[in-house]
């Protein structure tokens, strides 16, 4: 029994080893089967997520999609405007797309903007116009006519006259008084400046520069009607007096006649592109007409660090619902013009906005 029992024990051990080997192989096979199955499941889940995302995007009402905005930019007389800049901005004034017109005045802009209202700007040099558009279809066509300056503000080329020696002496004497007036004006001695200007006019009653300078004095005294009168007189003697147009733009803005201010500012800039004050008055005119996106663009083009620029930009940003940026501009104004009479009122605005933020 003992001898016979050995093969049985050996057989039992051998069977156990074989079972363990098969179990090990079975475990490895099982891992492979599960791994492949898991990988297939993973791919299936990925496909499901992808299809779900497609369905979700298709069902989202504010889905981002490509929209073609195209059309023509023309003059007031219907002529095509080549190389005009065309911009798409949202109602907060932020640029989202831009393009240029070709020789036929045609433009085409593709954007992925969401459905809603936008502002389309067209500009060629100093001519600029905007249009409110609604993007609710994949294709939107629009035509914009750029405005021309008012006929009564058109400057004619200066004529060349033969000037006598006597006239030259008169002009030189008048200009000497104007030089003194400018020095007194720069020192805020307005009374002294006006005396010198009046003496210049006594010497030469047709001195356009004297009337332009006196228009600026009228503005300083907030006599807007007097400024308009003097600036208009200046233009009768010299239709190319850019300073007179600038004085007109400032006076018209101060009096709430914003369309006249716009035309006057454009003519001032056409004659003297270096008159950055002209672009500031143009931005003020757009602000007064509640064309806030246009006003913001003009200040971007101006790119000037000056207290009144910061103040105007702050007010524009408030109207464009960009409060945080507006607060920074108000604060910049306070830093640069601490003695300005508007400082107390603006500081109150800044404190109120800061209180709302907290």
Q: Are residues 162 and 283 in the same domain?
A: yes
Q: Are residues 160 and 281 in the same domain?
A: yes
Question: Does some domain include residue 186?
Answer: no
Rounded to whole angstroms, how far apart are CA atoms 64 and 84? 28
Average pLDDT of the segment spanning 281-294: 96
- Structure confidence by residue, pLDDT tens digits, 66-116: 899 999 999 989 999 999 999 999 999 999 999 999 999 999 999 988 889
* CATH at residue 119: 2.60.40.1120
Q: Are residues 208 and 237 in the same domain?
A: yes
**Residue 265: Cβ-neighbour burial (10 angstroms; 0-12, 13-18, 19+):** buried
Q: Are residues 52 and 133 in the same domain?
A: no
Question: Does some domain include residue 94?
Answer: yes
Question: Does some domain include residue 205?
Answer: yes
Q: Are residues 122 and 205 in the same domain?
A: no
Question: Does some domain include residue 173?
Answer: no
Q: In this structure, are residues 227 and 219 in contact, taking their beta carbons and an 8 Å threshold?
A: yes
Average pLDDT of the segment spanning 215-239: 93
- Structure confidence by residue, pLDDT tens digits, 171-220: 788 889 999 998 998 888 999 999 999 999 999 999 999 999 999 999 98
Closest residue by Cα to residue 133 from 145, 122, 142, 124: 142
Rounded to whole angstroms, how far apart are CA atoms 224 and 217? 10
Q: Are residues 55 and 98 in the same domain?
A: no
Residue 119 pLDDT exceeds 80: yes
* CATH at residue 212: 1.25.40.10
Domain that holds residue 119: 67-148
Taking residue 231's Cβ as centre, other Cβ atoms within 10 Å add up to 29
Q: Are residues 143 and 253 in the same domain?
A: no
Q: In this structure, are residues 72 and 143 in contact, taking their beta carbons and an 8 Å threshold?
A: yes
Q: Are residues 164 and 267 in the same domain?
A: yes
* Alpha helices (H) along the chain: 2-59, 165-186, 190-203, 208-220, 224-237, 242-254, 258-271, 276-288, 292-302, 307-319, 323-336, 343-357
Count of domains for the chain: 3
Q: Are residues 140 and 221 in the same domain?
A: no
Band the pLDDT of 149: cuts 50, 70, 90: low
Question: Does some domain include residue 115?
Answer: yes
Average pLDDT of the segment spanning 229-249: 93
Average pLDDT of the segment spanning 38-49: 49
The domain boundary residue, chosen from 116, 148, 180 = 148
Residues 6+ apart with CB under 8 A from 124: 73, 81, 83, 84, 85, 146
């Amino acid at each position: 029994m003992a001898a016979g029992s050995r093969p049985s024990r050996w057989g039992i051990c051998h069977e156990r080893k074989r079972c363990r080997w098969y179990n090990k192989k079975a475990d490895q096979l099982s891992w492979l089967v599960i791994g492949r199955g898991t990988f297939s499941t993973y791919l299936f889940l990925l496909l499901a997520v992808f299809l779900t995302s497609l369905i979700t995007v298709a069902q989202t009402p504010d889905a981002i999609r490509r929209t073609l905005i195209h059309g023509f930019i023309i003059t007031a007389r219907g002529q095509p405007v080549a190389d005009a800049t065309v911009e798409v901005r949202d109602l907060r004034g932020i640029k989202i797309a831009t393009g240029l017109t070709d020789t036929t005045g045609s433009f085409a802009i593709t954007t992925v903007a969401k459905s809603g209202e936008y502002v389309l700007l067209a500009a060629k040099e100093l001519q600029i116009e905007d249009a409110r558009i609604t993007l609710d279809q994949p294709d939107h066509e629009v035509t914009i006519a750029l405005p021309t300056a008012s006929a009564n503000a058109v400057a004619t080329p200066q004529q060349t006259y033969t000037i006598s020696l006597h006239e030259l002496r008169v002009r030189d004497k008048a200009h000497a008084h104007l030089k003194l007036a400018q020095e007194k004006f720069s020192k805020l001695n307005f009374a002294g400046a006006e005396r010198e200007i009046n003496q210049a006019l006594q010497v030469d009653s047709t001195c356009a520069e004297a009337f332009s300078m006196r228009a600026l004095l009228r503005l300083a005294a907030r006599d807007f009607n007097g400024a308009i009168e003097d600036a208009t007189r200046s233009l009768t003697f010299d239709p190319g007096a850019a300073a007179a147009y600038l004085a007109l733009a400032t006076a018209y803005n101060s009096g709430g006649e914003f369309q006249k201010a716009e035309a006057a500012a454009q003519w001032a800039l056409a004659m003297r592109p270096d008159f950055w004050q002209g672009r500031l008055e143009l931005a003020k005119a757009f602000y007064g007409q509640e064309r806030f996106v246009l006003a913001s663009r003009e200040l971007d083009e101006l790119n000037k660090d000056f207290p009144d620029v910061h103040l105007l930009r702050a007010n524009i940003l408030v109207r464009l619902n960009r409060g945080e940026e507006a607060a920074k501009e108000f604060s910049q104004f306070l830093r640069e013009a601490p003695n300005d009479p508007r400082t107390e009122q603006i500081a109150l605005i800044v404190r109120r906005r800061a209180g709302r933020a907290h």
